[in-house]
Structure 1
């Protein structure tokens, strides 16, 4: 049975490990954190949202980024400090504007495919992840934004999504706790929400039951190719006390989020992934009145670029913003405050005295499409660069990559000597 090492224990890496185990491979997962799902898969917006499949490659995105550059609480914030990586990524982002329509349609199809796989896995493995299947409601505050949403909706429908416009009266009926009045909205009943950390952790335990090995606190330092691959990694809570270990594999899958770029470069491949920071707050609904005042239907405010997800009875996740500031995970008050203010504005009866902030880095490719497939060298594979849709797409891309590996390295093949 071929030995495969997956680097990364976030939602994409663990989903990939599961898909490979299903096909009979010997799987080991390496991650530099102490547990699964401790970086980008820890506290995202929670939406499983085919309705959010529109890629960002539009001139209006560039113009908004320039306009908001000096506004510290803007939905999209760019640090103008010179960086070759950032500006080369932006140049490729602009070059991919021509693929906006095709990539939006293809992302929609991929999201719908992923939904089927994820729900089947969760049921099979009995994973409880606060799954709420009440749809996603997109809110628009003026006619211009609503008209643009109508044109986007045509692409989503071409991709196979059931998404329809709704009036103000219908919005109030779908989510009666909303205290503000938008111009209009679009509703996707088949979308849902859940706790990505709980799902990924549960899936990691399912992988272990199926025979996978997880090596945590494992910082990959070097990958060498001989007859097989030799991966050297340091393990230990502190660098000075770390131990160096090696593991051999017949194939390697890179699912390391924003670190995938450097790992790919060491293997002779170019992945122009940029870390786009996003923020979230988890509002602890400690009081009955707050529980009653919080929405159960997931919302997406298109103007503020903010989403909500209800995570069980006692938690509300509010997330959003995009920040181009390199590999910076600092939690800034001026970026968290708009999330709290938005919650207070639209749901004033929620008590926000107990709020837990978080920031994570979305690994984004310039065309907003995940990198799924082979590397330049035989035995190297990638499933990474999912951007803001890693939670939504991971179950599908894991299946896609497992099929590619099955064709290239069948599960019944002999181990490399």
Structure 2
């Protein structure tokens, strides 16, 4: 048994803490906010989506992104102000294009394993998080869009994903409330959706029941390490404490992981990519009846939607490269509202809650899981837009690596 600190109380940190506790370790979880899951794990698109596992590093995606730069309401927005971190990240993004196929297949395999762990944990700990095991429907508005994804479809299926093409008639059967015309789509019956915030908080409570010490409102100011031990310097309201010693530390701090890694001589190529969501409150029966039951992904707009229980519809998407800016911009929220009004016109958008979060994204879109320069520091971070989908799988992986670690 090891004495282990986990830094970060989002979905990645909490799943990591849980996987470590199940293996008998003594775990302390540090979280800067008052509750678990209050930042990037608060209001994402809700999809547990192996079907959305394609990495973004491809020439078609890059060319599409360049066209989007000139449209203010496009899915991608890049602040033209240069920074070395952003330029270095974008250069590495392009350099990873040759690895597109391999990384996509590996991401699918991780996602398939992760969702089985997550379902099992939710059942074991009796966590209610508005889980819907109705699959995910990916829709295409034109034949060109549909044909462009045929290669990706082959990759996903070869990696083990059950994903089948569907006709416009079958789309209407799967989701009768969808008021739009499509050329076709793909349906992934094994995918699911749910409320990431509810799950994270439920699993955090389970961690405490299993003996974890969770210290909320504790900002980690510094990480120190040598070959045998690691030290966490944390405190509240800039009042730093004495370093706390651990056999191992696992950094799961999202976009904050890069700075902590630098403290111990590791470089993590993580950039904050902002995403937006809206939560539509379905307060009248007409809206509840007209809102979708199945989770959707619209290829043209790169938007996803998920039904969260009876009274909420979550719509999310967009990617904004604008540093650590967390502002919620009205011009980025409006396309999400219009999408609901166009596709589900009977759903009232009178009561909409906007949100934005910073995804910790690596240039090759692959999470960073494993030890750093010092054997006492491990990382489980950089999951990008798939943190909800991959979290349980990478938590299991880093916990297995720590079980194999005999150096302490």
Q: Deviations over 1:13-62 (max 9, x none)?
A: 00000000011100000011111001110000000000000000012222
For residue 110 of structure 2, give the secondary structure of its aligned residue in structure 1.
helix
Q: Deviations over 1:152-198 (max 9, x none)?
A: 11000011011011000000000000010111100001100000000
TM-superposed deviation, 1:146: 0.2
The equivalent residue for 1:312 is 309
For residue 321 of structure 1, give the secondary structure of its aligned residue in structure 2.
strand
The equivalent residue for 1:234 is 235
Specify every segment of 5 or more residues in structure 2 that has no aligned partner in the other structure, as ranges.
none
How does 1:41-52 map onto structure 2 within 5 Å? 41-52=41-52
Distance, in Å, in 2 between the alignment partners of 1:268 and 1:32 is 23
The equivalent residue for 1:285 is 282
The equivalent residue for 2:88 is 88
The equivalent residue for 1:73 is 73
The equivalent residue for 1:358 is 355
Check conservation: 2:111, 2:389, Cα contact below 8 A: yes
Check conservation: 1:165, 1:186, Cα contact below 8 A: yes
Q: CA RMSD in A?
A: 1.2
Distance, in Å, in 1 between the alignment partners of 2:242 and 2:263 is 19
TM-superposed deviation, 1:70: 3.1
TM-superposed deviation, 1:143: 1.1
The equivalent residue for 1:210 is 210
The equivalent residue for 1:191 is 191
The equivalent residue for 2:115 is 115
TM-superposed deviation, 1:217: 1.1
The equivalent residue for 1:370 is 367
Check conservation: 2:11, 2:41, Cα contact below 8 A: yes
For residue 21 of structure 2, give the secondary structure of its aligned residue in structure 1.
helix
Distance, in Å, in 2 between the alignment partners of 1:235 and 1:339 is 37
The equivalent residue for 2:271 is 274
Q: Deviations over 1:241-297 (max 9, x none)?
A: x45353211100000000111111111111100100000000000000000000000
State yes or no: 1:394 paired with 2:374.
no
For residue 241 of structure 2, give the secondary structure of its aligned residue in structure 1.
strand
Check conservation: 1:46, 1:309, Cα contact below 8 A: yes
The equivalent residue for 1:136 is 136
Distance, in Å, in 1 between the alignment partners of 2:265 and 2:327 is 31
The equivalent residue for 2:299 is 302
For residue 94 of structure 2, give the secondary structure of its aligned residue in structure 1.
helix
Distance, in Å, in 1 between the alignment partners of 2:72 and 2:218 is 36
Distance, in Å, in 2 between the alignment partners of 1:174 and 1:94 is 37
Check conservation: 2:251, 2:378, Cα contact below 8 A: yes
Distance, in Å, in 1 between the alignment partners of 2:406 and 2:27 is 14
The equivalent residue for 1:262 is 259
Q: Deviations over 1:84-133 (max 9, x none)?
A: 10110010001100000011111001100001100000000000000011
TM-superposed deviation, 1:363: 0.5
The equivalent residue for 1:149 is 149
TM-superposed deviation, 1:200: 0.4
TM-superposed deviation, 1:409: 4.0
For residue 323 of structure 1, give the secondary structure of its aligned residue in structure 2.
strand
Distance, in Å, in 1 between the alignment partners of 2:274 and 2:309 is 26
TM-score normalised to structure 2 length: 0.98
Q: Choose 149-158 or 219-228, whichever is displaced more.
A: 219-228
For residue 149 of structure 2, give the secondary structure of its aligned residue in structure 1.
helix
Distance, in Å, in 1 between the alignment partners of 2:191 and 2:141 is 22
The equivalent residue for 2:14 is 14
Distance, in Å, in 1 between the alignment partners of 2:207 and 2:406 is 20
Distance, in Å, in 2 between the alignment partners of 1:279 and 1:222 is 30
Q: Deviations over 1:220-244 (max 9, x none)?
A: 11223366322111214xx4xx453
The equivalent residue for 2:376 is 379
The equivalent residue for 1:106 is 106
Specify every segment of 5 or more residues in structure 1 that has no aligned partner in the other structure, as ranges.
none
For residue 243 of structure 2, give the secondary structure of its aligned residue in structure 1.
strand
For residue 211 of structure 1, give the secondary structure of its aligned residue in structure 2.
coil
For residue 309 of structure 1, give the secondary structure of its aligned residue in structure 2.
strand
TM-superposed deviation, 1:299: 0.4
Distance, in Å, in 1 between the alignment partners of 2:92 and 2:200 is 32
Check conservation: 1:137, 1:300, Cα contact below 8 A: yes
